[in-house]
Structure 1
Amino acid sequence: MLPYLLLATLLSVCKGQNTTSYSNGLDFTYPYPVYFYNFTSQQQTLQMAYMDISPPQLHTNTLKGVIALLHGKNFCSATWNVTIDVLLKDGYRVIVPDQIGFCKSTKPVGYQFTLHQLALNTNNLLHSLGVASATIMGHSMGGMISSRYALMYPNETSRLVLVDPLGLENWFALGVPYQSIDASFAMELTTTYASLKSYQQLTYYAGNWLTSYDVWIAMLFSIYQGPLGRQFAFNMAQTTDMIFTSPVIYELPSLKVKSLLIIGDKDTTAIGSKWAPADIKPLLGHYNVLGPQVAAMVPNCTLLQFADLGHAPQIQDPVSFHKGLLDWLP
């Protein structure tokens, strides 16, 4: 368990944190009020946590539009904090959910995790909030969900933004063997603060590290260590299986909406790289190559590359990232 004083210090880095109540990740104080969407799915009653923020002192008819931000596998909706503020300032209403199985949302037992199901859950959430059309923006795993969302609901997706999305290559076809959910679960149970940090430093931040990133490691690790940690670890194993078995690369040419693909060229993220054979590992996760290849496949797609950034450009270089994003948005 992360020592309390260190955890409290890390938490103070994040905007609006209440360091006295943060004990297990589920209590992490988000930058804006958190609401819960209650619904039934797969015969279970579930709660989906989300933030819904509109620009202050703006009437609805002056809004530029609605943007839904979908987090990645090792993230929560709170990790979008800087992006939320940038989009609010630019005149957008921003809706940011925690997917089922993650962070403040229900961690269900016996749930079938698929990209289709998570996209459906997100679509139902937006409908419950009176949103008939939105820009869907996803990072990492959230990019996969966003792609699936746009394929399922093209008439309800005004624009699509993919930030270093997973699924741009078929890891099994490249030689990575299938790993069972049980085996992935066993790996999840070995998660430590150090293992999370070393992995994210290598892939998410291209070998660099700032102390401001520590708060996100603390947030994630404390969920593993909290009262729902074992079920969270199993849900993470289930979502690893979902990602590995559902590459979206083959369907991306069918996208109908205007899209922006944002890539950190130094990103090397690849599900299965941990258990891939030694001769296969070097073939995986070359986003500097995957980005241009995918952009050429997708109709009406704009590619934005950052030569020196990794898997999380919105965190690593928020100024450059958000300038590129706002330059593309209407």
Structure 2
Amino acid sequence: MYLELSGLQHPQAPVLVLSAGLGGLGSFWLPQLSALREQYRVVVYDQRGTGRNADSLPDGYSMQEMAAELADALAQHQILQFTVIGHALGGMIGLQMALDYPDRVSRVVVVNGWLSLDAHTRRCFQVRQDLLLNVGVEAFVRAQPLFLYPADWLSENQARIEAEDSLHVAHFQGTENLLRRLHALMNTNFTQRTQQIAQPVLLVCSQDDLLVPWTCSETLSHALPAATLKKMRWGGHAMSVTDSTTFNTLLLDWLNDTPPASVTSPVMEPSWQNL
């Protein structure tokens, strides 16, 4: 798996692993990188089957496989202790890694995540799936910003959105890959296992998120033993993009104020590749 590693190179500097949502691309985190690199070693990656990690995903692809793939790739770079910061699907990967690799994951940040799939979110995913299967890739891509961004932000950023639409169509991950990743996400349910997640977890939600109701983060916060919930009033599902200043501030404040859980893996100096 292709990883990009940057930021502080001191071997004792804490490591942040950034995991994107359904789009799967590490470039989603560009609005955060400058702020995070000043204090941390930062890992971004394209998820399997997307971007520079092109591959055909198997039938029955699961969240457990996504977590294992990332854990293996990090271990190959001698990264054995880290905090996972994930957006939606990426946050689910973070929670799965906290369960499956508790000796490696010291903290988790889940942005617009959930305990189990909400009925409204399921409807949104079904609409997007129908567009992809019955209309085509271009329609799917054109509709995607409606679920990610507030209407006022979209109105003011049409040129940017049109450029991104063209890029996403040109580099589309493929219908089968997207559907297998989407089905893995929709089938993920942490209801029976949250009490096993002892690590500190930050939950960030936006109260105007069209795709995932902010109450899903509230429900998840009640189920986790060591959760902190932060609500943003505006920004939509991708508020880390639309209001990166507010998002970056609350993220860094929590990271700086919340000690990592104790883990027992040895710390090994990674081999760094700057962005």
Q: CA deviation at 1:175?
A: 8.7
Which runs of structure 2 are paired with 1:130-209 in the superposition (5 Å)?
130-165=78-113, 167-171=114-118, 187=133, 190-192=136-138, 195-201=140-146, 203-207=147-151, 208-209=153-154
User: Does residue 1:126 correspond to 2:79, yes or no?
Assistant: no
Decide whether the 8 Å contact of 1:75 with 1:216 is kept in 2. Answer: no
1:205 maps to amino acid: Y
User: Does residue 1:255 correspond to 2:197, yes or no?
Assistant: yes
Distance 2:89 2:107 in 1: 18
Decide whether the 8 Å contact of 1:185 with 1:233 is kept in 2. Answer: no
Pairwise CA RMSD of aligned residues? 2.7
Q: CA deviation at 1:60?
A: 2.6
Higher helix proportion: 2
Which runs of structure 2 are paired with 1:225-264 in the superposition (5 Å)?
232-264=174-206
Distance 2:6 2:98 in 1: 22
Q: 1:136 to 1:221 in 2, by over 3 A?
A: same
Distance 1:188 1:98 in 2: 27
What SS class does the counterpart of residue 183 from structure 2 fall into? helix
Q: CA deviation at 1:218?
A: 3.2
What SS class does the counterpart of residue 329 from structure 1 fall into? helix
Q: How many residues align structurally?
A: 249
Decide whether the 8 Å contact of 1:75 with 1:220 is kept in 2. Answer: no
Distance 1:161 1:54 in 2: 19
Q: Give the number of the structure with larger relative contact order, counting CA–CA contacts within 8 Å between residues 6 or more apart.
A: 2
Distance 2:56 2:236 in 1: 32
Q: CA deviation at 1:328?
A: 0.5
Residue in structure 2 matched with residue 59 of structure 1 by the alignment: 10
Taking only the aligned residue pairs, the percentage that are identical comes to 21
Distance 1:108 1:100 in 2: 8
Distance 1:326 1:174 in 2: 28
What SS class does the counterpart of residue 34 from structure 2 fall into? helix
Deviation digits for residues 247-281 of structure 1, max 9, x if unmatched? 33443333110010010111132xxxxxxxxxxxx
Distance 1:234 1:174 in 2: 20
Deviation digits for residues 60-90 of structure 1, max 9, x if unmatched? 34x2x0000011112411121121221102x
**Stretch deviating more after TM superposition (145-154 or 245-254):** 245-254
2:115 maps to amino acid: L
Q: Which runs of 5+ in 2 are unaligned?
A: 257-275
What SS class does the counterpart of residue 199 from structure 1 fall into? helix
What SS class does the counterpart of residue 261 from structure 1 fall into? strand
Q: Which runs of 5+ in 1 are unaligned?
A: 1-47, 270-284
1:318 maps to amino acid: S
Larger Rg over CA atoms = 1
What SS class does the counterpart of residue 95 from structure 1 fall into? strand
Residue in structure 2 matched with residue 50 of structure 1 by the alignment: 3
